[in-house]
Structure 1
Amino acid sequence: MSNDEASAVVQTRLEEGEYERLRRVATENDLSLQDALRKAVREYVNRHGKHDPDDPFFSKPSKDPTADSSITAKKADQYLY
């Protein structure tokens, strides 16, 4: 990940045991601490976050015959692949 304007620095404190466990798991998985923390944050947010109500994937199909239904399929492809 690059250090650009699209990223944010997050700082926190861990108990010594938590830090050692994180460091050990990161090392065992050949990850830097930053990568391990990013992965942990993504997994937490994916597990506990709510879906985006504006995402067309979660909206009812339009009854308008001229509506572009491919948007939903494209979004699904982005998530899956």
Structure 2
Amino acid sequence: MSTDADAKVVQTRLTEQEYEQLRRVADQEGLPLKEVLRRAAIEFSKRQEKHDPEDPFFAEQVPEVADEESSLTATKTDEYLYE
């Protein structure tokens, strides 16, 4: 978690219904509203982020696939995960 010195303040507007829903979640989790919002922003950002091409996991060469069905499965998996 960042310190106050390097943290940024972000503001937004919520409808009354959105606010009440968020407040209920915060109360159920026993967390301050700003912590729930911070976690929601981080989770949203992570879901939207594409993979890092510099990550060694993605830098390795993929071996050639022996049959067409395996190739199709790998292609569909990539599409599902990264597009």
Superposition TM-score, scaled by structure 2 size:
0.62
Report the Cα offset of residue 26 of structure 1.
0.4
Partner SS state of residue 45, structure 1: helix
After TM superposition, the structure 1 = structure 2 runs for residues 2-17 of structure 1, keeping only pairs within 5 Å, are 2-5=3-6, 7-17=7-17
After TM superposition, the structure 1 = structure 2 runs for residues 1-81 of structure 1, keeping only pairs within 5 Å, are 1=1, 2-5=3-6, 7-60=7-60
Partner SS state of residue 5, structure 2: coil
Instruction: State the distance in 2 between where 1:53 and 1:11 align.
Output: 32
Report the Cα offset of residue 21 of structure 1.
0.5
Q: Please list every run of 5 or more consecutive structure 1 residues that lacks an aligned counterpart in the other structure.
A: 62-81
Q: How many residues align?
A: 60
Instruction: State the distance in 1 between where 2:12 and 2:42 align.
Output: 16
Q: Please list every run of 5 or more consecutive structure 2 residues that lacks an aligned counterpart in the other structure.
A: 62-83
Instruction: State the distance in 2 between where 1:22 and 1:44 align.
Output: 15
Superposition misfits of 4+ residues, deviation over 4 angstroms: none
Report the Cα offset of residue 22 of structure 1.
0.4
Instruction: State the distance in 2 between where 1:9 and 1:28 align.
Output: 24
Superposition TM-score, scaled by structure 1 size:
0.63
Structure showing the higher helix proportion among its residues: 2
Percent of paired sites with the same residue = 52
Larger Cα-atom Rg: 2
